[in-house]
Amino acid sequence: MAPRRDIRDQIDAFRSLCDRETPERVLAAAREALTHRHRLMVAKAAELAGDRLIYALEPDLIAAYRHFLEDPAKRDPGCTAKGAIARALVALDSQDAGFFIDGIRYRQPEPVWGGSVDTAVDLRVSCAIGLAATSDPRALIHLVGLLHDPEPHARSGAARAIACTQPLAAEAVLRSKALGGDPEPEVTGDCLAALLQVAGEDALDFVGGFLVTPSMEINGLAALALGESRLDGALDLLRARWEAEPFKRGAEHLLLRAAALHRSEAALDWLVSVVADADRASAEVAIAELGAYRNNARLRARLGAVIAERDDPRLGAAYAKAFPITPPGA
């Protein structure tokens, strides 16, 4: 294997060549780089293929991937090359369903202190996204298996990929997974977000039901999923939940963050009203969330007027922190 400094120099030379040469010469150089024995060079060539959408390299990418399946932990620790190849094939809209099906099943345990770790999780997620974009009629069947992967990140990736398959079938699978729960709350949250993506308004009541569960973490993740959906009805659910709880705590304050993610005028109006009328702690949270829109001159002036009317030094300090005065020309 080439010394580390040497391979870095080779990668720099490859990058420089690709920046100045013709498309034909770049294609030839990338094709040669994909046959390199070092994973870092192959990963760089794969990245280039995906970024520049060099479709002619698809067979070369697959051949390089297969090379690194031999003695993988030694030739490609961390799935550096194979992961980059999988991402490139997704970017190139590869229709090689067989490649992606094999990829979502691939495991690469590598030794760590006290045991081993599977370094192929991101690769499986990339292959899930790629498989969902193919015309394979059984793509969803294969993705359901990944939804029960031992690694939570892979399960979350499966949820996102499933949302890109046939809508009604995807909705049924995601509802089932959300109802069944997951040891990691984030996976359930990703299922709810994916469900809103695939089913839209039809999933609002279902996801809204997760605003009130025994798990405060699930409640918060459901709120964030609703906010990020930017659906009109999602804001109504968030506000109704806020108004139903007279004593505001951390869980309720996540509703304000979700409203900020909604980005609608109605959401900003609600947050300003919280600053105007709610308890101090809630008002401080709302000010901090509104800080994401500090470049909105109209909102800045409106919120400043509300702060002045409340005449509360702590709220004034929160406003100054969230909406700093930018010096002219800065």
Residue-wise pLDDT tens digits, 99-155: 999 999 999 999 988 889 999 999 999 999 999 999 999 999 999 999 999 999 999
Q: What is the pLDDT of residue 30?
A: 96
Question: Do residues 150 and 71 both lie within one domain?
Answer: yes
Of 191, 140, 147, 142, the C-alpha closest to 167 is 140
Same domain, 57 and 97: yes
The label of the residue with tokens 């109209």 reads 298
Residue 184 backbone zone (phi > 0: left; psi -120 to 50: alpha; other: beta): beta
pLDDT score recorded for residue 326: 67
- Do 141 and 56 share a structural domain? yes
The confidence score (pLDDT) of residue 113 equals 85
What is this structure's pTM?
0.89
pLDDT at 3 over 60: no
Is 132 part of any domain? yes
Q: 288 falls in which pLDDT band (50, 70, 90)?
A: very high
88 & 207 share domain: no
In a shared domain, residues 93 and 198: no
Quick one: CA torsion of 270, 275, 277, 282, rounded to 10 degrees?
Answer: 100
At residue 325, the pLDDT reads 80
Q: Is residue 246 part of a domain?
A: no
Please give the Cα distance from 257 to 263 (Å, whole number).
10
Between CA 234 and CA 229 the distance in angstroms is: 7
What is the C-alpha separation between 237 and 255, in angstroms, rounded? Answer: 10
* 145 and 66 share one domain: yes
Range of the domain at 187: 170-240
219 and 302 belong to one structural domain: no
Residue 259 has pLDDT above 70, yes or no: yes
How far is residue 233's CA from residue 84's CA, in Å, rounded to a whole number? 39
101 lies in the same domain as 47: yes
Question: 245 in a domain, yes or no?
Answer: no
Structure-block tokens of residue 245 = 């709880």
Could you tell me if residue 88 is inside a domain? yes
Domain count, the chain: 3
pLDDT band of residue 245 (cuts 50, 70, 90) is confident
pLDDT band at 251 (very low <50, low <70, confident <90, very high): confident
Residues 178 and 131 in one domain: no
- Please state, for a pLDDT cut of 90, what percent of the chain lies above it: 92
- Average pLDDT (269-292) is 95
Both tokens of 176, joined, read: 């089932």
Contact between 227 and 259 under an 8 Å Cβ cutoff? The reply is yes
Structure tokens belonging to residue 9: 């120099």
Q: Judge contact between 125 and 150, C-beta under 8 A.
A: no
Does position 329 have pLDDT exceeding 80, yes or no?
no
pLDDT tens-digit series, residues 186-240: 999 999 999 999 999 999 999 999 999 999 999 999 999 999 999 999 999 999 9
- The residues near 38 (Cβ < 8 Å, ≥ 6 apart) are 1, 2, 7, 10
3-state secondary structure of 111: strand
What pLDDT does residue 4 have? 54
Count CB-CB contacts under 10 A for residue 233: 15
pLDDT, tens only, 35-89: 999 999 999 999 999 999 999 999 999 999 999 999 999 999 999 999 999 999 9
Same domain, 55 and 137: yes
What residues pair up with 112 in beta bridges, in sequence order? 115
Query: Residue 67 domain-assigned?
Result: yes
Last residue of a domain, one of 186, 208, 240: 240
| The pLDDT value given to residue 1 | 46
Residue 8 lies in a domain: no
Domain end, chosen from 225, 240, 255, is at 240
99, 134, 157 — which closes off a domain? 157
3-state secondary structure of 155: helix
The reply to whether 143 and 91 lie within a common domain is yes
Q: What is the pLDDT, as a whole number, of residue 328?
A: 44
Q: Are 183 and 227 within one domain?
A: yes
The answer to the question of residue 162 being in a domain is: no
How many Cα atoms within 13 Å fall on the side-chain side of residue 170? Answer: 25
What radius of gyration do the chain's Cα atoms show? 25
Q: Is residue 60 part of a domain?
A: yes
Rounded Cα distance, 223 and 217, in Å: 10
